[in-house]
């Protein structure tokens, strides 16, 4: 356990991204006695607009930098002497990993090892009160058939370059724990959704396309299943695991909320028709089945009973409530959407969806 009443200096990586921005906000607001350093390279997925409301808080500092930059990492670890690291920086999109696997090896594997080395060096005299928290994904477990759930003891069996890189980074974190005694925790979470989600992922992509009256590209037959969790509930789980989780342990986090893609898309279409005052069925007509994703995992579903029993965590919103909050956020933040879908996004979209 890491006591939260004490002063702490925390490094959060990838804090300008989707989940990272919710985690940074939560920590900055909940722990005024901590100082939060957010290290982010501001790739296409990083956006400081996500953190506008907290950028002037006295306990928050943004550092623009790459986790592949060993000199910079050494410098900031030496200068700020972090006692906690919450590592979210990653290349996170499966389709991009099929297009450019090496970028995923570099950031997700090498970048993680750079941070592990810096933590190991900084904490060589004492690891008391220190913790390296690695944020990972359920995709490391591969795919489920129709039945069963991923638990913390499910064997790793990654199928995409993205999940292989995340599995590798998980292994490095554990190896540093075993070999060098580095205190760590890992959590493996299911699909997140919510405000600030970059519109390359299913839900925000489809909200944006419905708003623009564009086709909704469903891969294959649409019968793939994901377990969806509202991003703010993930941020709450991360807070609990960071403070109350046990060292050298893994926690699975999930929404108890499985949906086949096609059913989710139909629900989203119905809710969007209501929000946009369109006759029911309007958005559903945009659904277009397209070629499948190579190596597409059939089903993910998490057994989140360990975090529930040990740390008392469970999702706080239903899927319908979370989806409504998400849709409302996108309708209220069209400038955010317009900014992130201009420029490079247009080339990405053309390349991916021809
Ligand atoms: P994201 O793509 O929205 O954000 C990633 C952030 O990392 C961006 O701000 C980006 O600028 C930054 N970044 C990328 N490469 C970097 C580098 N080399 N140096 C420094 N910063 C860099 O990702 P996300 O969806 O918020 O995911 C965050 C983490 O959570 C990832 O580790 C991901 O694997 C994991 N995760 C995501 C989900 C999900 O559903 N999105 C689910 C489970 C786990
Ligand atoms: O499970 C956790 C993972 O969830 C995270 O580790 C990843 O970072 C995150 O991107 C997400 O991966 P998925 O591949 O499951 O998410 P995505 O939103 O890309 O796709 C969700 C499902 O929707 C999947 O079955 C593929 C399908 N899909 C996706 C897109 C982008 C489509 O049918 N059409 C699309 O255009």
| DSSP at 299 | B
Instruction: In the chain, count H helices and then E strands.
Output: 13, 12
Mean pLDDT of 107-123: 98
Mean pLDDT of 302-311: 98
**Domain locations in the chain as residue ranges:** 9-193+227-253, 202-225+258-298+319-353
SS3 content of the chain, % helix, strand, coil (to 5): 45, 20, 35
Is 93's pLDDT higher than 80? yes
Any ligand 2 atom below 6 A from CB of 96: no
Give the pLDDT confidence score for residue 76 in this predicted structure: 98
Give the pLDDT confidence score for residue 1 in this predicted structure: 76
Give the pLDDT confidence score for residue 2 in this predicted structure: 78
- Sorting pLDDT into bands at 50, 70 and 90, what band is 4? confident
Specify the pTM: 0.98
Q: How many CA atoms lie within 13 A of 159 on its CB side?
A: 15
Taking CA atoms only, the protein residue closest to ligand 2 atom 20 is 202
Residue 258 known to be catalytic:
no
Q: How far is CA 166 from the centre of its chain?
A: 12
Task: Kindly give the distance from the C-alpha atom of residue 73 to the centroid of ligand 2, in angstroms, as a whole number.
Answer: 31
Any ligand 1 atom below 6 A from CB of 21: no
Is 181's pLDDT higher than 80? yes
- Sorting pLDDT into bands at 50, 70 and 90, what band is 157? very high
Taking CA atoms only, the protein residue closest to ligand 1 atom 33 is 92
Question: Which pLDDT tens digit goes with each residue over 225-261?
Answer: 999 999 999 999 999 999 999 999 999 999 999 999 9
Mean pLDDT of 198-211: 98
Residues 302-319 as b or e (16 or more Cβ within 10 Å = b): bbbebbbeebebebebeb
- Three-class secondary structure of residue 326 per DSSP: helix
Residue 83 vs residues 3, 12, 95, 118, 155: alpha-carbon distances, Å: 12, 11, 35, 12, 31
Question: Which pLDDT tens digit goes with each residue over 97-112?
Answer: 999 999 999 999 999 9
Task: Kindly give the distance from the C-alpha atom of residue 67 to the centroid of ligand 2, in angstroms, as a whole number.
Answer: 25
Helix ranges restricted to H, the chain: 18-30, 70-80, 94-99, 101-104, 111-122, 161-180, 202-211, 231-244, 261-275, 305-311, 319-332, 334-340, 344-353
Q: Regarding beta strands 225-230 and 258-260, do their DSSP bridges make them parallel or antiparallel, or are they unpaired? A: antiparallel
Mean pLDDT of 283-290: 98
Separation of alpha carbons 163 and 94, rounded Å: 8
Taking CA atoms only, the protein residue closest to ligand 2 atom 30 is 202
Is 5's pLDDT higher than 90? no
Residues facing residue 8 across a β-bridge: 34
Residues 192-217 as b or e (16 or more Cβ within 10 Å = b): bbbbbbbbbbbbbbbbbbbbeeeebb
Any ligand 2 atom below 6 A from CB of 314: no
- The residues near 111 (Cβ < 8 Å, ≥ 6 apart) are 66, 67, 68, 89, 90
If you average pLDDT over every residue of the chain, what do you get?
97
Superfamily of domain 9-193+227-253 in CATH is: NAD(P)-binding Rossmann-like Domain (3.40.50.720)
Looking at the CA of residue 90, tell me the nearest atom of ligand 2.
8
Any ligand 2 atom below 6 A from CB of 137: yes
Any ligand 1 atom below 6 A from CB of 141: no
Yes or no: is domain 202-225+258-298+319-353 CATH 3.30.110.30? Answer: no
| High-pLDDT (> 90) share of the chain, % | 98
Taking CA atoms only, the protein residue closest to ligand 2 atom 35 is 202
Measured from the alpha carbon of residue 349, the closest ligand is 2
Residue 280 known to be catalytic:
no
Query: Which pair of structure tokens corresponds to residue 1?
Result: 């356990």
Helix (H) or strand (E) holding 61: strand 60-64
| DSSP at 155 | P
Residue 178 known to be catalytic:
no
Question: Which pLDDT tens digit goes with each residue over 332-354?
Answer: 999 999 999 998 999 999 999 97
| High-pLDDT (> 70) share of the chain, % | 100
- Sorting pLDDT into bands at 50, 70 and 90, what band is 3? confident
Is 270's pLDDT higher than 80? yes
Taking CA atoms only, the protein residue closest to ligand 2 atom 8 is 92
């Amino acid at each position: 356990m890491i006591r939260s009443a004490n002063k702490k200096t925390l490094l959060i990586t990838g804090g300008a991204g989707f989940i990272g921005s919710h985690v940074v906000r939560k920590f900055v607001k909940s722990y005024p006695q901590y100082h939060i350093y957010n290290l982010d390279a501001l790739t296409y997925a990083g956006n400081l607009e996500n953190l506008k409301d907290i950028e002037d808080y006295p306990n928050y500092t943004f550092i623009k930098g790459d986790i592949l930059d060993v000199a910079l990492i050494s410098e900031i670890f030496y200068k700020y002497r972090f006692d906690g690291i919450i590592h979210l920086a990653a290349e996170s999109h499966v389709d991009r990993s099929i297009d450019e696997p090496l970028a995923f090896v570099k950031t997700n594997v090498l970048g993680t090892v750079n941070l592990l080395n810096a933590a190991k060096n900084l904490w060589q005299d004492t690891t008391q009160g220190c913790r390296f928290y690695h944020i990972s994904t359920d995709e490391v477990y591969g795919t489920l058939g129709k039945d069963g759930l991923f638990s913390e003891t499910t064997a790793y069996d990654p199928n995409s370059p993205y999940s292989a890189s995340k599995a590798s980074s998980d292994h490095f974190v554990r190896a540093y724990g075993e070999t060098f005694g580095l205190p760590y925790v890992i959590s493996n979470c299911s699909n997140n959704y919510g405000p600030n989600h970059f519109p390359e992922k299913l839900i925000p992509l489809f909200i944006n396309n419905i708003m623009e009256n564009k086709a909704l590209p469903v891969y294959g037959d649409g019968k793939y299943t994901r377990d969806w969790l509202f991003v703010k509930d993930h941020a709450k789980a991360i807070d609990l695991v960071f403070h109350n989780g046990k060292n050298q342990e893994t926690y699975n986090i999930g929404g108890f909320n499985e949906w086949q893609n096609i059913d989710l898309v139909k629900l989203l279409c119905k809710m969007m028709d209501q929000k946009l005052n369109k006759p029911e069925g309007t958005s559903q007509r945009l659904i277009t089945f397209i070629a499948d994703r190579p190596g597409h995992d059939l089903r993910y579903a998490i057994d989140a009973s360990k975090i529930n029993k040990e740390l008392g965590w469970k999702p706080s919103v239903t899927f319908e409530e979370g989806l409504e909050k998400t849709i409302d956020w996108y309708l209220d933040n069209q400038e955010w959407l317009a900014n992130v879908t201009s420029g490079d996004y247009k080339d990405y979209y053309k390349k991916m969806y021809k």
